[in-house]
Amino acid sequence: MDPTELQSALADHPLFRGLAPEGIAGFAERGDLIETAVGDALVREGQDADSLLVVLSGELKVTKKGSRGFPSELGKVSSGAVLGEVGLLGGGKRTATAKAVEASRAFSLSREDFEAMVDAGDLAARQVLLRLARTMAERQQATSERLAEMAEKVEHPDGTMRLSVTEIRERLLQAVSDGI
C-alpha cells in the first residue's frame, strides 16, 4: 500500500473520518502498516501495550486466556475496529490476543509517536484523543450496564446466588467482549 492509499484508508476509518488531510498525512507518516495472513497474531495477550491498532481490512478473532490457561473467544472485529486504545493511553500489557481469521491490514501507531503529536499541539492528534476517550467511556458504560444486568439475574430474592461458576464466567466473558 503506497502512502496515498494509506492516507485514503485512514480517511475512511471512523477514528480518522473528517480530519483534515494534513492531519491524516501526519498520522500516516508516523505509523506503520501491518499485514497479516490467516492465523497470524496481530497482538498477543501479555505483550507490552505500546501501540494503537486500527483495523483497515479483514477480520480478527479476539481471545483471552482463562484462569486455567485456555483461550476463550471474546468476539471478532473487522474493518473499522480499534484495538489497544487503553494501552495507547495508559500502557501496561495487552489483555487479549487478536489473530487474523482472514488476511487483514491494520495501521499501528506507537504510544511514543502519538504522545509526541499531542504534546506538539497537533490538532488531529487531539481530535483522535477525544474520540478514543469517548470510545473508552462508551465501552465502560456498556460493561457496567452488562454487569448490573448480570447481578440482577444471579441474585435470588433471598440474597443467594443461583448461577454456576461456569455461567458466571460465560457472562463475564460476554460483558468483556462487548467492551473490546
CB 82 within 8 A of CB 135: yes
Alpha helices for the chain (secondary structure H): 3-12, 21-30, 85-90, 111-119, 123-154, 165-178
Q: What is the pTM of this model?
A: 0.78
- Give the tens place of pLDDT for each residue, 125-146: 999 999 999 988 888 888 788 7
pLDDT band at 77 (very low <50, low <70, confident <90, very high): very high
- Res 108: pLDDT: 96
Query: Quick one: what percent of the chain has pLDDT higher than 70?
Result: 88
- Res 159: pLDDT: 59
- Give the tens place of pLDDT for each residue, 153-170: 655 556 565 666 677 777
Indicate whether 74 pLDDT > 90: no
Looking up cell 479476539 gives 62
What sign results for the dihedral spanned by CA atoms 6, 82, 135, 87?
negative
- Res 154: pLDDT: 59
